[in-house]
Structure 1
């Protein structure tokens, strides 16, 4: 049986590839569950410092949820549809958003529905010039279900998000960049090398500091400024007694490259 998600190591970077190209890498339930299992394994693997997530084939990053599978859940009843589709998808994107190691989406093609929601949820995203985005759920009579009604307005602003959510229109990687959904647009051939370069520029630093930054941003972004500053202080306090802090300070004073141990 073909792997639903392939896993390759590029040094300290895990390259995860959604691997249903014949289905435009649609996110069926098994793919969602597989991604969660891989994240669980990577989280406790000290040899992996960052993740790049992309799609197999030349056409799609991910076309979103598997509509045929979802349709059967809807037919089974509201409770089943909410449990099997909505809750599963929200659990997956929340896991990506709060993951303690940096995750970079390398958007190589179509990123519709759940594929767009993955892009919204991960920490960083780079898109190929061939990428195309959409929030097309309204075309089948539903709102987005993997967090799209919440994360896109926070990234792009309420009015720009509502235009995309209410029309279902496609939008270009250039517009996605302008709205803050992605960090950069590159040529198709440069997509993975650029993502790897970004990962390498992150993992040269303390893995613990990266984790604390991700946590502070994820927890603080919807808090008041006072609550956010408290979260920031808490994350600093967690770092202050670590070996990585002492190594970073010593290396800076000695003008040498730090050697972080992640402790």
Structure 2
């Protein structure tokens, strides 16, 4: 595993286990690299076969961000559509875990960071946290449909439309108001610890069966549309993405048509 992804297996006094993962690039607001996605995917594959672990907590280092999307320089070094598919496979593995997954959010939770959070079971955040997909004013790319649908399932279609179509970030208070957050708290570490402790005392049969049932429902509601690869391929080959890349490299604002 990379040092950018810190993984710690913990054991309660009862002998039950949970895993905590810290996205460890605070100087980059924990923006994800391909190596971080691959490391998280590898962890998910391992946890899927580990009945001794009951919960997974994800958090960002530094106190300024859960994760601020993808590292653009790393992203631009890839063939974008296959890379998107690789990332989406990681999201699916996270969503399908039998463990209860918790996103402990402190600060910016945008782009790929928001996608990770919406593929968790529960989200808890500090009052200053912000959420969104501001890609319409940054890179001029587009979300894959399953990621978009997952956001709508958690935040509701109306707020998801606002996130994408206005590129505005949303407050923790508003996210809590639509049910996307379990709680907004100034004592994040204590509240997450209490939440994990309560989960460790619950029936594993109930938790795993419920997650499996909800997973079947989500798969039925959120299939990948036909032509998705061609649609995203046109986006990444198009003029807006080219302008977004130009502006990013020049450290200027993009001018979209």
TM range (shorter): 0.7 to 0.9
Q: Which residue number in structure 2 is paired with residue 39 of structure 1?
A: 44
Aligned pair 1:62/2:67, yes or no? yes
Q: Which residue number in structure 2 is paired with residue 165 of structure 1?
A: 164
- Structure 1 stretches lacking a partner, 5+ long: 74-79, 225-263
Q: Which residue number in structure 1 is paired with residue 114 of structure 2?
A: 116
Write out per-residue CA displacement over residues 218-239 of structure 1, whole angstroms, 9 at most, x where no aligned residue.
2124658xxxxxxxxxxxxxxx
Report how far residue 36 of structure 1 moved: 1.0
Aligned pair 1:125/2:123, yes or no? yes
Q: 1:2 to 1:118 in 2, by over 3 A?
A: closer
Q: Which residue number in structure 2 is paired with residue 16 of structure 1?
A: 21
Equivalent pair of 1:149/1:165 in contact (CA under 8 Å) = no
Q: 1:146 to 1:14 in 2, by over 3 A?
A: farther
Aligned pair 1:95/2:93, yes or no? yes
Higher helix share: 1
TM-score (normalised: structure 1): 0.76
- Structure 2 stretches lacking a partner, 5+ long: 12-16, 222-257
TM-score (normalised: structure 2): 0.78
CA distance in 2 between partners of 1:159 and 1:47 (Å): 39
Q: Which residue number in structure 2 is paired with residue 236 of structure 1?
A: none
Equivalent pair of 2:9/2:18 in contact (CA under 8 Å) = yes
Report how far residue 2 of structure 1 moved: 6.1
Rg comparison, structure with higher value: 1
Instruction: State the secondary structure of the residue aligned to 1:129.
Output: coil
Report how far residue 122 of structure 1 moved: 0.5
Number of matched pairs: 215
Write out per-residue CA displacement over residues 166-202 of structure 1, whole angstroms, 9 at most, x where no aligned residue.
1111111111111222211000xx2122112112212
Equivalent pair of 2:95/2:120 in contact (CA under 8 Å) = yes
Equivalent pair of 1:93/1:147 in contact (CA under 8 Å) = no
Write out per-residue CA displacement over residues 195-214 of structure 1, whole angstroms, 9 at most, x where no aligned residue.
12112212212223211110
